[in-house]
Each structure stands twice: as C-alpha cells, then as structure tokens.
Amino acid sequence: MSNESNLHRVGIVGGDGIGPDVVAEGLKVIAAAGVELQMSHYDLGGDRYLRDGVVLDDATIEEWRELDALYFGAVGSLDVPPGLIERGLLLKMRFALDLYINQRPFVTESHDFVVIRENTEGTYAGEGGFLRKNTPEEIATQGSVNTRRGVERCVRYAFELAKTRRGHVTLVHKTNVLTFAGDLWERTFNEVAAEYPDIDTGYNHVDACCIYMVEDPGRFDVIVTDNLFGDIITDLGGAVSGGIGLASSANLHPGSVSMFEPVHGSAPDIVGMGKANPTAAVLSGALMLDHLGESDAADRIRAACGDPESLTGTTTEIGDAIVGRL
C-alpha cells in the first residue's frame, strides 16, 4: 500500500455526461490540498462503447491491479442499452477486483452515519435462472448468495470502522423472514461483536431502519447490511442528508486497489450546462485520500465542503470555492 513516501498511482475514469466535469473539480481540490497523484487516464463508458464497442477489457483490469486507487466520475449514455455498462464495466470491475465493501458516509449538520454494504454477494451475485421462459408457466428465481467468509469480512470491517468513530454498529437485515441468510448474518455479527467488547451493537429490520433513518437518524453510527438492502437504504440515506449532489462512495478491497465515485450518474439532462454539483465527487476524492493514507488532506477537504448550502454557482465555481476554503 502506498504512503507519504511514494507516489499514489491512481486510474482516472471521467466517463460520460457530467462525469469528466466533476472529476476535474475533484482532482483540482486534491491538488490544492497538497496531494500529488501519479495519474493514468482511461477513456471508458457509454460514449467509448458507442465509438468502438469496448466496455472493459481484461488487459485494463490487469493494469488496474497495479494501481492504488481508481477515481470514477459516472458512466452511462442515452443510446446504450440499459444494463450493458452497469454489468460490463461497474459490476465486472467490482467482482474482478473483489471490491467487497461499499462504504457511503452521510454527513450533514443533523446526520453523521456511514453505511457498510456488502458489495459482492446476496441477490446481486447472479444466482438463479429461468424455467419454461416465455410460456404461461414461466418461472424466474433469483437466489441470495451469502458466504460465511464474505459476511464476516464485511462485518469485521464495520467493527473496525466503528472503533474510529462513535463505537456503535447496527446490523440491518430482515431476519424474521429471511431465516437462512438472516441467520448467517446474525450469528456472524454476534460472533464478531464478541471480539469487540467496547463496541455497542444494535439490530434493525430493514423496514424499521427506513423509518428511523427519516425520524431518528442520530441513533446510527455504523450500519452494516447486505447488498440489496444496502443499495436501497443508501439511496434513502442520500435523500435525507443533502441529496444527490453530496452523496459520495467508496468500493473497497481494504489494502488493495479500491474505487471511489460519486453516487450520482451521468445526468444527461444537465450535461454541458455547468449545473452539476461537484461536491459528491470531491467528497469521494476525500474517501480516496483516506485509502491512500492521506487522512489529513482528506479531513481538510471534508471541512472545506462543510455547510454545502453555501456552495452555489456553476460546477467550476463550486470547485473553486472549495479550493478557496482549504
């Protein structure tokens, strides 16, 4: 892993639509915070696919394995069939690099919690299939894959993170109905919890979690949950804590190359208008700096993004304002 004494090798994927614009602001802020990156740029996304049919080849993935981090904007073009880029680029990368943690912080004046979502298993692992497809008797199944190893490494990461925060982890699942997957998660959670006597724990069913996230978010510090529940509750978390312009994320394989991106997409409705808020990309850059061992710079960037309502103007004006506050 890299540290202050060697250069951070980072792959840059601006992608489509507003992606390149917000990434440019993120890189501007990182440079202003005094962190030097050794960058390799990759032209990938829907526009590239439309040009020459390339989504993500295996040679590129092999190059990425030698990097410390990947910094993404957003991918997706109107003329590309839905799912093609998601599966062929984002999911392919996630599985190939085993980015098993999806981490999303939610911070405003009234919120400060982080969701740790398992990122490689559950109902998103691709288990299932059709029987008698396109007949009146058609059957579709979509199983949830939960391995002890996969659940444990995710839960363990959540407890380690809680040690650096307010010392509380909440498991979110639906153990009353999903009695097999939920049981594996609950047993694993309780066994790991026993190794962390100083960390307080809680449990919420996912539906109750949605109520608390709106009505009593202060109860949460670190939430750990499976892939599908995590996908859904992180969108809710974003909606109650500042919206899509602020939501940042990390796709992590701790100790190895990991990927950092704003939660939003390529926003074709506002592309080229200067309306894209770069704060989500800037905050994703701060998460990347944490991963690169540059936490001082990351904390300064987060502080500079504080009070986001006061950050107004065009994409570059907001980037400049954040730089000005550093």
Of ligand NAI, Mg ion, none, which one does residue 231 interact with (CB within 5 to 8 Å by kind)?
Mg ion
Of Mg ion, ligand NAI, none, which one does residue 244 interact with (CB within 5 to 8 Å by kind)?
ligand NAI
Quote the least distance from Cβ 76 to Mg ion, whole Å: 13
Q: Which of 88, 202, 217, 265 binds ligand NAI (CB under 6 A)?
A: 265
Quote the least distance from Cβ 310 to Mg ion, whole Å: 28
**Judging by beta carbons within 10 Å of its beta carbon (0-12, 13-18, 19+), is residue 58 exposed, middle or buried?**
exposed
Does 284 participate in binding ligand NAI (rule CB under 6 A)? no
57 contacts 96 by C-beta, under 8 angstroms: no
Does 320 participate in binding Mg ion (rule CB under 5 A)? no
Q: Which stretch binds ligand NAI (CB under 6 A): 24-32, 50-58, 178-186, 259-267?
A: 259-267
Q: Angle between the 181-194 and 148-163 helix axes, to the nearest 10 degrees?
A: 40
Contact characters 238-257, ligand NAI, x per CB under 6 A:
------xx------------
Does 231 participate in binding Mg ion (rule CB under 5 A)? yes
Q: Which of 8, 3, 15, 12 shows the shortest CA–CA distance to 268?
A: 15
Quote the least distance from Cβ 74 to ligand NAI, whole Å: 4
Of ligand NAI, Mg ion, none, which one does residue 264 interact with (CB within 5 to 8 Å by kind)?
ligand NAI
Quote the least distance from Cβ 201 to Mg ion, whole Å: 26
* Dihedral sign from CA coordinates of 66, 68, 72, 75: positive
DSSP string of 293-305, one letter each residue: T-HHHHHHHHHHT
Contact characters 168-207, ligand NAI, x per CB under 6 A:
----------------------------------------
What is the strand order of the sheet 112-118 is part of?
A: 37-41, 8-15, 69-74, 258-262, 248-252, 101-107, 112-118, 222-225, 168-173, 200-205
Q: Which of 45, 48, 46, 26 shows the shortest CA–CA distance to 37?
A: 26
Structure tokens at 1: 């892993």
Does 75 participate in binding ligand NAI (rule CB under 6 A)? yes
Contacts with Mg ion, residue ranges (CB under 5 A)? 231
Chain contacts with ligand NAI (rule: CB under 6 A):
22, 74-76, 90, 244-245, 261, 264-270, 275-277, 280
